[in-house]
Amino acid sequence: MKNKKVLLGMSGGVDSSVSALLLKEQGYEVIGATLELFAGSSCCNKNTYLDAKNVCRQIGIPHFTYDCKELFQKHVIDDFIHCYSNCQTPNPCIECNRFMKFGFLWEKAKELGCDFLATGHYAKTEYSEKCGRWVLKKSNNSAKDQSYVLWNMPQDLVEHILFPLADFQTKDEIRQIAQKHNLKVANKPDSEDICFIPDGDYKKFLETNSHLKPKSGNIVNAKGEILGKHNGLYYYTVGQRKGLGISNPVPLFVLGFHPEKNEVVVGEEKELYESEITVSGINLLLIDKIEKEMKVQVKTRYSSKMANAKISQNGDNIKVIFDEPQRAITPGQSAVFYIEDMVLGGGKIVK
């Protein structure tokens, strides 16, 4: 029989703070843990640590802080830079979940004798008789559901993960619980930006922390005709409209890149739609292998709507054929596959 000892990742925000309260009320022996990830980030500063530590002190649970800056640099920052260096648009939260929360933090949980790891994500885990295994599911709060960024957790870890906020419908409910228990973080704003770029200026971050520097090149259309100039390929992402500096009778959007020529390719909105993509770096949670073509729903960005599609596996890649063409599919982002409300798995879009 599993013990009820759980390590909870705490950011100092209201979600993880209320998660600590709920777990304790459910009879778990809770230990709070905060990761130092990147100096000066929105989730790595003195206030963050103090908020998390004070909440733990107030509700009577221990709290630990771990210095993970080198690990974060290796697995998240360096990947972020690598993606932009290769004309891809990354989602660093996904790498952070994989290596920090469900990697480093799970190892710490085991060292502390915990059978469970918990986070304040809006998602759900439960045992499925139909599938014969523990499954990752969407949360009841569809507006806040974060299952998309959790697709690459290890399959054998799903049964050890707790998401205390899974059954709540709104964020207001979470804040009300915090207020009821007089937690100082009850009205703390949500962090919306990339945590290590709190001012949102990713171009400045790249130029300060990597080899990437402004380098002028041509903006061209699909025929190769020069329409304008750009200052660096990393300034752009597929689907971008603003900031092109081009006067044209109809709006133009970034379609892609010719990195060998240092060119940004633009076109009309209708040219943004695609019916097929290739996905690599696969992690499957619901099954061990895709043996035959399957009908699924796919999300190609955290904010995108579900799209019906058929998927088939070819070696280490998955081919996705959409029922309807999809707009602005972006290399570097994740394609996450769902069957009903369960996460089948996912991978990185390579086109």
Which CATH number fits the domain that encloses residue 230?
A: 2.30.30.280
pLDDT tens for each residue of 2-34: 679 999 999 999 999 999 999 999 999 999 999
pLDDT of amino acid 190: 83
The answer as to whether 250 is a domain residue is yes
CB 119 within 8 A of CB 34: no
Q: What is the CA radius of gyration of the chain?
A: 22
CB 23 within 8 A of CB 162: yes
**Region 206-233 average pLDDT:** 97
Say whether pLDDT at 43 is over 90.
no
**Region 224-242 average pLDDT:** 97
Same domain, 237 and 295: no
14-25 vs 46-59: helix crossing angle, rounded to 10: 20
**Region 194-199 average pLDDT:** 90
pLDDT of amino acid 347: 98
Q: Kindly name the residue from 43, 44, 93, 96 that is annotated as catalytic.
A: 96
Is 195 labeled as catalytic in the residue annotation?
A: yes
The answer as to whether 103 is a domain residue is yes
pLDDT band, residue 351 (cuts 50/70/90): confident
Is 96 labeled as catalytic in the residue annotation?
A: yes
Residue 341 domain boundaries: 273-349
Q: Kindly name the residue from 44, 56, 114, 195 that is annotated as catalytic.
A: 195
Same domain, 95 and 168: yes
Q: Which of 251, 267, 283 is the last residue of a domain?
A: 267
